Structure formats: C-alpha cells, structure tokens
Amino acid sequence: MSFSNPKLKNPAKIFIELKNKVGEFQYYDKDIKKYVSVPLPIYFVVLDELHIVKGYNKANKNGVYSNEVRNIKEELLSVRVFKTNIKIVGLWNKIKGEVEKINGQYSRSVYAGLISKDKPLILVNFQFYGASRSPWFDFRGDKETKGVGITELIEDNNGDVSFLRPVFKSVNLRDVDKKQAIELDRELQNYLKHYLHKSDEEIIESDVEDNENEQSDDALPEGDIKPNRNFKEDTEIIDDLPF
C-alpha cells in the first residue's frame, strides 16, 4: 500500500449472512454499528464463488473467518478468530483439523448482483455457512444463465438442534439484469485479479485488519449446524421474477 498504489477496497456494498437466532438474512452496517435485515424473497445473479472459512468460536465468543481463495488445494488460507490473536495458516487439507477445533467450517463466499424492483443491481456478497452452507452446496440450479431466489426459511433439525434452512430456487433473468450483471462482474474481477494474487508471504504476514469479511463480535453461534441431508429441493421449477 502506498499513496500511488492504495489498498484495493472490496467492491461488495454489503456482506449478507443468515442469522438463525433471529430468523433473518442480515448485513452489518458499520456506519450505524447495527445489523440490518434483508427481507425475503431475495433475488440475485451469481457473479463468482470463492472458498472461505467461517464459523463461531464459542470459547472467545467471536466469529471465525479467513481470506478468500479460488483453489483450496493450492492457495493458503489464513484463518482468524475476530478480536483475538488466533491465527492458523496453511493449505486446507493441512489445517482442517486445527480449524475445526476452533469451530471453523469450510464455507462459500458468493459475490452477486442483488436484484431489486426498479433499481440497478447492487454488488453484494453472501456468506453461506452454518445453516445456509449445506442448502447452498446442495442447490443444483443453473447459476450460469439463471438467477437465484431465496424464497423462504423452513424449519429443519439435526437431532435436538432446530434451525431454519433457506430454500433456493432458480429464476429467469430479465435482459436488464444480465446486462448490469456483466458490468458488475467486470468491476469484481478487476478487484479479484489483484486480491487473489497475493504472495504466500503477504498472506502469512497479513494483519487482522487486512480482511474485508471479518465478522462482528456479536456473531451468532451457527458454525456447527449440520442440516438434514435427506432434505431435497425441486430444482426443476424455474420461476419468473415477481416484478
């Protein structure tokens, strides 16, 4: 970082997560220092997906997070616990056991264009972990030519643990959505081109403040939720946007 080469800022306007305790998707607004609800249904265009580690460290009562990588077999992950000195760095298959001990979980960081009625697409990021991780992994909709809708949250359980599972559906995109998504993706890829080309030394020596996706200290303990894998969604149904 320098005056002529400033630190690149993540272009995502908001980082959205499922907060199971309150039964909502929310993002943390740093300006007002509060979580803001994102009401259902939520519609978006997937621009890119990256691998991350997310979770909730019960001992320190803080979120677990990492840098984003495109290939977990070849790129270093730097896993942290927010507001602590805990730091685990390495390839995923080498650090998986250590990460799981601090309640970290292999998850997905999904960059998307958020679709709203009568408004341009907004570049956002979805953090799918905890109760939203398996539903996203299991979703078989066409994310290359169709949009995605989070239509509802349904009750599910894992033994004695009850939680809400998001339901993902494919939606047909309008021409305007496709056009705007291309422009947003150009902006995103310009950022990722630089972000993903950090050297191993930079990742190893990076400070906590270098991570754009760090979780607030009032993160919810969802990292150990494992939804019922017998649940099946009908991915053959493709809806139109309701506006």
Q: With a cut of 70, say whether residue 111 has pLDDT above it.
A: yes
Q: Which pLDDT tens digit goes with each residue over 48-94?
A: 999 999 999 999 999 999 999 999 999 999 999 998 999 999 999 99
Which pLDDT score, from 0 to 100, does residue 50 have? 98
**Between 41 and 233, the higher pLDDT residue:** 41
Structure confidence at residue 216 as a pLDDT band (50, 70, 90): very low
Domain residues of the chain, as ranges?
15-240
Structure confidence at residue 210 as a pLDDT band (50, 70, 90): very low
| 42-57/104-116 β-pairing | antiparallel
Q: With a cut of 60, say whether residue 217 has pLDDT above it.
A: no
Judge whether 38 and 24 are in contact, CB under 8 Å.
yes
Q: How many CA atoms lie within 13 A of 65 on its CB side?
A: 24
Element (H or E) spanning 138, and its range? helix 133-138
Q: With a cut of 80, say whether residue 224 has pLDDT above it.
A: no
- Residue 217, SS3 per DSSP: coil
The alpha carbon of residue 120 and the mean position of all alpha carbons in its chain are separated, in whole angstroms, by 21
Separate counts of helices (H) and strands (E) for the chain: 4, 12
Q: With a cut of 80, say whether residue 213 has pLDDT above it.
A: no
Q: Of 185, 207, 231, 223, which Cα lies nearest the Cα of 7?
A: 207
The alpha carbon of residue 50 and the mean position of all alpha carbons in its chain are separated, in whole angstroms, by 8
Which pLDDT score, from 0 to 100, does residue 24 have? 96
Structure confidence at residue 11 as a pLDDT band (50, 70, 90): very high
16/36 Cα distance (integer angstroms): 9
Q: Report, in angstroms and rounded to the nearest whole number, the Rg of the chain calculated over CA atoms.
A: 18
Question: Mean pLDDT, to the nearest integer, of 10-37?
Answer: 94
Q: How many CA atoms lie within 13 A of 48 on its CB side?
A: 22
Cis-peptide, bond into residue 120, ω within 30° of zero: no
Question: Mean pLDDT, to the nearest integer, of 5-17?
Answer: 87
Q: With a cut of 90, say whether residue 231 has pLDDT above it.
A: no
CA distances from 188 to 13, 34, 134 (A): 11, 26, 25
149/130 Cα distance (integer angstroms): 19
Which pLDDT score, from 0 to 100, does residue 4 have? 56
Q: With a cut of 50, say whether residue 143 has pLDDT above it.
A: yes
